[in-house]
Structure 1
């Protein structure tokens, strides 16, 4: 039986023009190694999370959902050119609460903090820290940068702040034969011991196999619009950033076995259940005492009177049937959201169109979402919804 080790810092193809791990190939390799857990931590995004989650579950692997977020040195709303290179921080969701907080951080990083990269700041981390495990990050992390500047006391203060906030906070130790990394580790390992913060072994995985390194170098050339012949181009420090086997991890951390053990300890903390069997539709604010079905019905019957003064029993039956189907399929909120959007566009003179079989719905006609009378043209509602 292979030793237990979990990769907690992995960039898939969804770290665009940087990560090169295709998810099926990544999962297959982890399965080949006998791993029971694996993380996804793309740069500032969560595009690949669902594909990764489904593929890992199908392979019998516990998917750990994470993100390597960018943390602004100051306020994430600042556009100071001196703050163009934010710090890195690895976050992993322990549960549904952590997953929701991770989504909030990534979303706000794009919508509020985007400046060359989607950035959060410590204020946002404080708002959305629950349910998350935090790792100190790669050499681009705050601790590593402070160490390289010789600011060891400041690194200790930063580590203490993260531990106080997250509780589950670990210092990443990466083992690659890179002088800069050796300098970082020489300070971070004793810092862990002094502060009582546990170390964790990571490898900053960017591709699946070692032989993928040349192709990854080409990918970085595309990212930076550089030639492979340019000696000064952005490149990785070597062909070390592949998915290591548990045996390799244990060997490389033979002097620090607790760093390997902590990968499994973290993996055991992270169990996220996502339900894909239920629709999660947006909801509208409802008047007191009314359900979505009540409000939709009220709007439709009111609209029916304006379109069909003195409606026949056949018209009433058709509307009642459509409302019944919408109620049984739990789509009332969805119809109300669309009605709200169309009402907004009409008030402001924005053009809009209805596509496909939606024109067959008397409900949409009564709501003013379409101007096509489905009864006049003999349109069948069941083509739209059944």
Structure 2
């Protein structure tokens, strides 16, 4: 158990609250393999807690630190021996009857056994699926024979447009790619190896050297051939081995032992190798002090270094996915969406990315959609029916097979008369209605939902007659005894947009045909300080303002029996989890109501790129009050050129007809400076209502009118 884990486990067993234990764990610095003793030295906050109320917790944690927490099985690790495994290693059966080694990977390595990890990779499935979609349209792709000199692919990386691209999706990585401006595969290989705890501190230096902004320097001339491709910076574990070979005369086997000893911090072996390294370097004419400096340098790197072979394989797959995104965007994004059907958050991210790419993801349609997401054309994707809750694979197979063989469905009665009702039951039909999958058929969602029971009975009757071979299947629909008439849809009252979207959310997990927040889009765009769609990284030190609709409220009492709450904030383009502690709840608890649109001001609990954003709330503002509460100054910037007095007069007249409590500030062209001249309109306070702001933006340009 490492430092943070042992504190959390001991705290839980000793009965401390989650918030207390979380506070202690977060006071431990985020440093690779840090111990509790080191953490106490580096964190005054942790030290104070250890000397106070949590002294006993820390003492127990120190005793247990480093011990095995529990027996576990590697998800894909396979041990290979030259003979019967029982001749080399003790075995045991897990709770699921898997035969497992009692030694961990370090023990197995010391025995000389081979452990290999056989891991599945979702992105390879995405590539395979995308290629099949491409081939279905009559084109062929040999993904293993791509040119690695495609400038359009490197442009995609350079712009940071890498959502869906293997290993290069995170917001931090995308920002570094924009700075790096990669032009060759080697740049991607290096960035993949550098973007990890430890070497990440070298990224800015690497980029500056690549672009000639910083001089490339080598610790020793003998290291230049080894480090030339990475601009004098150690990036790969293979470089550590080469340095040991060239500088100290190590064999490659000895160099690999040194690399492993450094990576695992085996002090006794490192001390022994240090003496041998310095001695070997001196024999090659390198001064002792310089040799010690080089050993110290590679020792620091080897603790977190990455194999170039691994990084190359990752960059290779990344390039393949980026190439598909550039060359066949609809097929690639369809494959990505299908692979993420189990994650609503990822579906939202990918649909937002499709919008940026100019690709429309259409709502599910029983006459167009298949089980998975599929491209209709280069700019359109149909929603996968398998993403609808309560609609199983067998039901979809039946529906799609019948549609392909006999043509599109006309209405809900047509569906029920043609499909196997054991598979397409009432629940399936209702979910298809809720999701909007029947919107292209006759009738509204309300009419089709009300007709489900009638349609099922009608379908049963038709199929019974078919089974008896008593129905004329070629047009008349007459049996020997009766004429089976197709029912008609009732005059059901259409659902409100809110009700329709609520049902859509119920079965899809997201809104596809619309969004209940669209009526508040102007307020959300104006005052939300971060963008889910951009996915930029925000620090836990940042104060953010996020607007959205309250859902999934959970009210609790803290250890002092004070009421607090948790809720989800459903935002345009994403969602956030909100934590409202007791002090904030006391002031704003009356605003926490399911479906209410609010703005939340607070700090993220952790640095985040929106994949799991959690905000600790300081203030909650209703959407009705947000403009009055937050608008302090209305800014209007005039375009460069001569500003006529009449322009100001017209603006003042418009402003006086929209009185309010907000200051009015003009930004005028300044002939003596690139910075505009700021002029405050005296004795004028204006409103920031949406109509007035829209009027100003239509006249002066959207970017020239803003609210502080």
> TM-score, normalization: structure 1?
0.27
Greater relative CO (CA pairs within 8 A, separation 6+): 1
> TM-score, normalization: structure 2?
0.17
